[in-house]
Amino acid sequence: MDERDIQLGNLLAETLRAFDEGRSADVDRLLDSAGDDRLELVEMVELSLTLHGPASPSSEAIEALAMTPAFDARSWPEILTEARHAQGIKRPALVTALAERLGISSPAGEERVRERYHEIETGQLDPRRISTSVVDALGDVLGGMRDLLAATRLNPVGPLSPSVSFKRDGFDDLDGNVMMEAMMASPSEPTADERRVDELFGV
């Protein structure tokens, strides 16, 4: 018992030092070396850190961290619209590229991708529901935005404004009548690609 307390006391001291120095791999190695007492050692580390109280980070560290994707407070509709406009990508071109990356090749499947993307960009479809493969594909299509999209998909999309909900800019080939006819048409059995798209978008 005494010997074990000495071992665990030494491990605690070493683990806290590794924590202080940001050596995560060493922290994990030291914790694992406690064997069955690992959880107790972690709890002692937590208690020790709690007793020390919160850190006082430098303004440089705060500003550097604040600029990382996790802290971006914008919603997906804002991020996607800004990114698309900044890169001069029209939605039809984006949809074609997105469908290609998702392995959707049929016209019906691509049309379903267009519908679902429109719903995301206008805040009608919650990005929390879509699969990680869509997040990754969209991030690639928009150019190196995987991390940003993954980090911001939990941000609420907020209440929709009427001007956003039904604005379909970027789809020059569509007009209101075409949309209305499509909506009024009797529903048919979805194709395999359409079902696949709905599954990917969490619908």
Which residues in this chain contact other proteins in the complex, by CB under 8 A? 2, 5-6, 8-10, 12-13, 19, 24, 27-28, 31-32, 39, 42-57, 61-63, 65-67, 70-74, 126, 128-133, 151, 154-156, 202
CB 107 to other proteins: min, Å: 26
CB 130 to other proteins: min, Å: 7
Q: Which of residues 12 and 138 has its CB atom nearest to other proteins in the complex?
A: 12
Q: Which of residues 48 and 191 has its CB atom nearest to other proteins in the complex?
A: 48
Question: Which of left, alpha, beta for 193 (phi over 0: left; psi -120 to 50: alpha)?
Answer: alpha
Q: Which of residues 27 and 95 has its CB atom nearest to other proteins in the complex?
A: 27
Helix (H) or strand (E) holding 11: helix 2-20
Q: Which of residues 46 and 175 has its CB atom nearest to other proteins in the complex?
A: 46
- Whole-number Å distance between alpha carbons of 12 and 57: 24
Q: Which of residues 74 and 85 has its CB atom nearest to other proteins in the complex?
A: 74
CB 62 to other proteins: min, Å: 5
- Whole-number Å distance between alpha carbons of 110 and 123: 20
Q: Cβ neighbours of residue 106 under 8 Å, at least 6 residues apart?
A: 191, 193
- Whole-number Å distance between alpha carbons of 143 and 46: 40
CB 45 to other proteins: min, Å: 5
CB 54 to other proteins: min, Å: 4
The per-residue DSSP string of 148-185 comes to HHHHHTTS---PPPHHHHT--TT-TT--HHHHHHHHHS
Neighbours of 198 (CB within 10 A): 14
Question: Which of left, alpha, beta for 174 (phi over 0: left; psi -120 to 50: alpha)?
Answer: beta
